[in-house]
Structure 1
Amino acid sequence: MNPPVPRRSPLTAWIGWSAFTTAALVLATVVAQPVWAGLFLTGDIGMLAAHQQGANLATLVLVVDLVLRILWWSPCRGPALGVWLNLALTAALYIQYVLGQDRLLQFHFPLGVGLSLLSAWLVVHSWRSVRRIGGAA
């Protein structure tokens, strides 16, 4: 079964590019997390707060991304995979946050790698979806 063809409209293109941008922001914050954590381990105590604020920022951007993806998927007939990837990322990020707060680092570190890979997949999927509809911003 072929996926539905998105409607080609300025709104569809705008939502698609916005979803791509938010996915890229999520990837940037997720990839910055080990940098902040590493700087904390070298003795810069303030980086632990930056690590926590980075997780908060990633969560906020994921919520905005989810709203955009639902709008892109439902009324604009865009790809549903982005919604599911976002939900998986949101759940994994929540689990990651709890594991970090409980200092369960043996699970926190590998899940962080998984978050990076899942975030990269969301960006690639977003880019391909925007290119498929030919959305010019």
Structure 2
Amino acid sequence: MSSPPAPTGRARVPAWIVWSLRVTATLHLVTVLGQAVIGGMFVTGKVDLLAHHNLNATVTTVLVGLQLIAAITLWRPGRGPLWPLWVSALQVVLVNAQVALGLERLVAMHIPLAMVIFGMAVSMTTWTWRGQRRGAAA
């Protein structure tokens, strides 16, 4: 009786782990886009939308935290790449800084940081749907 073949490469990441990162990254992106829409409407004069912007900031913060947990799970125990964990951790820091800047009404820094957060959210979400196919049990 022969032994099973030795693994030749990285093991496939379980589908539930891949999907947890896809879902959290996508929902995070949707709330970031929502922040841009609500914030844009707020600065054009609909000041009653500030409460919605604040509430959506809370949801965005929770979702990026869940994305970080999913990225940790992708790495360990999923045996996936480490870099999504670091990117997600940076996103957590930036989103929390964004909330602080917003609460302090430092719009000159709040709006440019929003663009960085949006770009990172788009990149992460795109990767989860396209780049994650290799080596994952989709």
- TM-score if structure 2 supplies the norm length? 0.86
Give yes or no for contact 2:38–2:49 (8 Å, CA) kept in 1. yes
CA distance in 2, matches of 1:86, 1:46: 31
Are 1:8 and 2:12 matched, yes or no? Answer: yes
Residues in 2 aligned to 1:125 and 1:34: alpha-carbon distance in whole angstroms: 22
Q: Count the aligned residue pairs.
A: 130
**Structure 1 segment 46-125 matched on structure 2, within 5 A:** 46-125=48-127
Q: How far apart, CA to CA, are the structure 2 residues paired with 1:80 and 1:134?
A: 14
Unaligned runs of 5+ in 2: 1-8
CA distances 1:20-67 after superposition (whole Å, capped 9, x unpaired): 111011111111112101222343333111111111111111111111
The alignment status of 1:27 with 2:19, answered yes or no, reads no
User: Which structure has the greater CA radius of gyration?
Assistant: 2
What SS is found at the alignment partner of 1:133?
A: coil
State the 4+ residue runs in structure 1 displaced beyond 6 angstroms: none
Counterpart of 2:47? 45
Q: Deviations over 1:98-137 (max 9, x none)?
A: 111111111001000000001111112222343112423x
Which is richer in helix? 1
Task: Give TM-score, length-normalised by structure 1.
Answer: 0.86
CA RMSD across the alignment: 1.6
Corresponding letter in the other structure for 1:81: W
Structure 1: any 5+ residue segments left out of the alignment?
none
In 2, are the aligned partners of 1:30 and 1:58 still within 8 Å (CA)?
A: yes
